[in-house]
Homo-oligomer: A and B are copies of this chain.
Amino acid sequence: MSIELTILGNSSATPTLNRFPSAQYLNMLDHHMLIDCGEGTQMQMRRYKIKKSKIKHVFISHVHGDHILGLPGMIFSMNLNSREEPLHIYGPQNVFDLLDLFIKSSDTHLRFEIVKHITQDQRPEVLLENTVLKVTSFPLYHRVPTTGFVFEEQARLRRINVDACEKAHIPFTYYTDLKRGKDYVSADGKTVIENEKLTYYTGDPVAYAYCSDTQYDERILPHIKGVDLLYHESTFLHEKLERAIETMHTTALQAGMIAQKAQVRKLLIGHFSSRYDDLDVLLQEAKTQFEHTEIAAEGKTFVLD
């Protein structure tokens, strides 16, 4: 199963002709998730052939228009498309206050349940966990309560070495434990075979961290340390540092610094101010600090493995 991140919007507050506000689609081990949902997200999903009906979880970092204004329209469209499956939304309390008022004002009768998961921005918190993945929120540092998110694959199951298992006459009933990395111990305790001799390694679990919006702040380092892919906002070039500080945003240079200090494998930068037509200047600036940087280009899909 693949882990794929598709960028639906990379613009900060004001959208441009070619750039929509923040939204990302993450397909992680068959869990279909949206991360933020700026104005026009449902149009972008249509453009990039992502079915609204597949989305089960929506993670909202904070209540600024460029991160949430696409949510009511997407919910209304899901309703028109006769959705019946619950939609899990994770976000601050006032996301739900706004949704409730919208739904009430427009006299909309939802056919499906919105399952509310209210986030807080004071400490890390596990929002979703099952056998294959875990999603954790952690505090960011912006003008309103804001959280980042880490999406982590759980430890991968090992693959059975069928030949070795058959030769050693291992009963099938042991296979689940073997996949989980346990050594084989026969019922009478007389035979012990190390796990490595009966299974194959299938790779390390991967992790993706999402940080938007935030000032440059090293308090986030413990939460994003060593992730395979880090998305970090880069609203301005460093020559606009004063404006970045005033608005509690990050410069491209600072995003590169954070990635370097967190020792991540790859950095994606986004949330660009509408003043930049040419995004390459932001990319080059981030790269002075951290070489493995890419633009979170709209419509582009990044595969983690």
| A41-49, A119-127, A173-181, A258-266 - the one binding chain B | A41-49
| A10-18, A23-31, A282-290 - the one binding chain B | A10-18
Q: Is A40 an interface residue (CB 8 A)?
A: yes
Q: Is A299 an interface residue (CB 8 A)?
A: no
Q: Is A101 an interface residue (CB 8 A)?
A: yes
**Interfacial residues of chain A within 45-104, with CB under 8 A of chain B in the complex:** 46-47, 63-66, 69-70, 72-73, 76-77, 80-81, 94, 97-98, 101-102
Q: Which residues of B contact A77 (CB under 8 A)?
A: 13-15
Q: Is the CB–CB distance between A39 and B102 below 8 Å? A: no
The 8 lowest CB-CB distance pairs between A and B, nearest first, are: A94-B105, A65-B76, A39-B73, A14-B77, A63-B105, A40-B40, A69-B73, A107-B144
Q: Is A131 an interface residue (CB 8 A)?
A: no
CA distance A70 to B70 in the complex (A): 9
Q: List 20 A-B contacts (CB under 8 A).
A: A14-B77, A14-B80, A15-B42, A15-B43, A15-B46, A17-B46, A17-B47, A21-B73, A39-B40, A39-B69, A39-B73, A40-B40, A65-B73, A65-B102, A69-B73, A94-B105, A97-B105, A98-B101, A98-B102, A107-B143
CA distance A102 to B97 in the complex (A): 10
Minimum CB distance partner of A105 in chain B = B94
What is the count of identical protomers in the complex? 2
Shortest CB distance A248–B (Å) = 11
Interface size class on chain A is: 35 or more
Contact A101 B97, CB 8 Å, known A15-B43, A65-B72, A80-B13: yes
CA distance A15 to B144 in the complex (A): 31
Q: Which residues of B contact A101 (CB under 8 A)?
A: 94, 97-98, 101
Q: Is A106 an interface residue (CB 8 A)?
A: yes
Q: Is A184 an interface residue (CB 8 A)?
A: no
Q: Is A20 an interface residue (CB 8 A)?
A: yes
CA distance A97 to B69 in the complex (A): 16
Shortest CB distance A105–B (Å) = 4
Q: Which residues of B contact A42 (CB under 8 A)?
A: 14-15, 39
Q: Which residues of B contact A15 (CB under 8 A)?
A: 42-43, 46, 73, 77
CA distance A102 to B17 in the complex (A): 24
CA distance A43 to B42 in the complex (A): 14
Our pick among B13, B21, B47, B69 for the contact of A69 (Cβ within 8 Å) is B69
Shortest CB distance A10–B (Å) = 14
CA distance A97 to B104 in the complex (A): 11
Q: Is the CB–CB distance between B70 and A39 below 8 Å? A: yes
Interface centre among A16, A46, A64, A73, by most chain B C-beta atoms within 10 angstroms, is A73
CA distance A17 to B70 in the complex (A): 15
CA distance A54 to B65 in the complex (A): 22
